[in-house]
Structure 1
């Protein structure tokens, strides 16, 4: 349990005893949780309107992202430095001129940290999505042209490069926030396990399992990095199953390229962000 949550519980117990023994009036409320949100476009909810007031334009940070949902539901004091297109390297180096490394938002007083990171590293996921969509378009959705062209290269990069970079990034977070409870969220499923929906995303039917396997490999890397660094992994594999881009509005958590309700495809919508918030809160026992 985060240090400040323990303090809040202790304060509540003390206040209860004071009320029982005297009539000196209500106890003062405990300080809110110091909560810092780091991460990429899945944390920033890039493409979900409205934009967070005062946020850097290039970060595409939404006022409805899961950190804001968590802060609203818990009363936490939020420092939100999430930024679209962030990679693990941007935790310790400036992503854009004038934007500080994300770990600079942390301190020994930080109680809770949430983040989603790794999907942009080496350009793997967006490159795979675009490559497979283009390949599927030119084959009319037939066969597995993306798998045939690229084989295991995407997953090999996640295992060999993204995973160690995730470990380094999470160690940097821990070093800056030694007293915090750190929750690392996985990525909700973008495509279903089989079948696909060519009218929404032009990935060939034979490449749908290929893309799903790539995302499973990425989430496995995120989970293993969290375990290695003592962070809590928020596993969204089961929760997000059946909420992929092929589902109708109101069911899907991720928007498709064709008929999207967001301005950025293959990213969570407002419903997805709320569900990610709920999962993180449950994992951290925040209400």
Structure 2
């Protein structure tokens, strides 16, 4: 009697759009803000696969390859995610790069600043800056990457992952779309149309970087066009796959400008169809 095929080994790398902050249940370590119902967990369950979920909210591409990541509001430090990737992995998913260009962080800042509370707080901060500068040294800020720099760093990240697990097929999973033509300024999102257009352009730059990095590594890497496939589920749609912006939800640790459970389920379903076509014997 022949033995049954071994389980697929699935690895998840990335930042919050892979990890799933705000989606219950949040799993240990809680400082990673990682959900037990993010798309990697849902996918692994459907495949009956062994999952190694290394995603951490807030991660940059450097946190995946070379730089330890300090958790927010915690003393936890996460080693570069790649160091824990099993070398015999079959499938590796990657969703990251947005933090390297300030994508979601800048959008949250604009949304918060556009609320009444945010406007008042911003006025107080601006008025206090001359006084604060006397007593405080300004914190150093990392400069967001250019689109070209993002593409290069993303390619370097993919190469490093491939070197670590050379037999794995890498799925470069795009970010869910947040804004679209149907998104109404000041209704579906607090800021105006000019900022919607700006953040939509940043999203396009992120997509282009994904395409450039993946298409030149097509033998072992495949881009999953989630942004396009989610374009009918942006803020303002009947069934958005991302949470809207609300200060109350932000303070409660809810889902704010990030994938909701429906969005995670949709990504897992799209990946499941691809993997069952490409790994028919195991999936």
Taking structure 2 as the reference length, what is the TM-score of the superposition? 0.77
Query: Cα offset for 1:122?
Result: 4.4
The counterpart of 2:177, out of the listed 162, 186, 189, is 189
Is there any run of 5+ residues in structure 1 with no aligned partner, and where?
A: 1-25, 140-155
Counterpart in the other structure of 1:234: 224
Counterpart in the other structure of 1:41: 16
Contact residue 103 and residue 202 of structure 2 kept, 8 A: no
Contact residue 243 and residue 256 of structure 2 kept, 8 A: yes
1:122-150, CA deviations, whole angstroms, 9 ceiling, x for partnerless residues? 434412442365358799xxxxxxxxxxx
Please, what is the CA RMSD of the aligned residues? Answer: 2.5
Residue 11 of structure 2: SS of its match in structure 1? strand
For the residues of structure 2 that align with 1:185 and 1:45, how far apart are their CA atoms? Answer: 14
| Matching of residue 95 in structure 1 with residue 69 in structure 2 | yes
Structure whose alpha-carbon radius of gyration is higher: 1
Contact residue 103 and residue 199 of structure 2 kept, 8 A: no
The counterpart of 2:153, out of the listed 165, 168, 174, is 165
For the residues of structure 2 that align with 1:161 and 1:135, how far apart are their CA atoms? Answer: 30
For the residues of structure 1 that align with 2:78 and 2:249, how far apart are their CA atoms? Answer: 30
Residue 172 of structure 2: SS of its match in structure 1? strand
- CA 209–124 in structure 1, closer or farther in 2 if over 3 Å, else same: closer
Is there any run of 5+ residues in structure 2 with no aligned partner, and where?
A: 71-75, 120-143
Residue 193 of structure 1: SS of its match in structure 2? coil
- CA 42–124 in structure 1, closer or farther in 2 if over 3 Å, else same: closer
| Matching of residue 283 in structure 1 with residue 271 in structure 2 | no
Query: Cα offset for 1:187?
Result: 0.8
Counterpart in the other structure of 2:5: 30
Query: Cα offset for 1:247?
Result: 2.7
| Matching of residue 77 in structure 1 with residue 50 in structure 2 | yes
For the residues of structure 1 that align with 2:44 and 2:36, how far apart are their CA atoms? Answer: 11
| Matching of residue 255 in structure 1 with residue 234 in structure 2 | no
Counterpart in the other structure of 2:208: 220
* Comparing 173-182 and 208-217, the one that deviates more: 208-217
For the residues of structure 1 that align with 2:23 and 2:11, how far apart are their CA atoms? Answer: 20
Q: How many residues align?
A: 242
Query: Cα offset for 1:31?
Result: 1.0
Query: Cα offset for 1:195?
Result: 4.7
Richer in strand (by share): 2
For the residues of structure 1 that align with 2:52 and 2:145, how far apart are their CA atoms? Answer: 32
For the residues of structure 2 that align with 1:82 and 1:176, how far apart are their CA atoms? Answer: 17
Residue 121 of structure 1: SS of its match in structure 2? coil
Contact residue 37 and residue 82 of structure 1 kept, 8 A: yes
Contact residue 182 and residue 236 of structure 2 kept, 8 A: no
For the residues of structure 1 that align with 2:206 and 2:91, how far apart are their CA atoms? Answer: 24
Counterpart in the other structure of 1:63: 36
* Comparing 87-96 and 258-267, the one that deviates more: 258-267
For the residues of structure 2 that align with 1:208 and 1:47, how far apart are their CA atoms? Answer: 24
For the residues of structure 2 that align with 1:124 and 1:71, how far apart are their CA atoms? Answer: 28
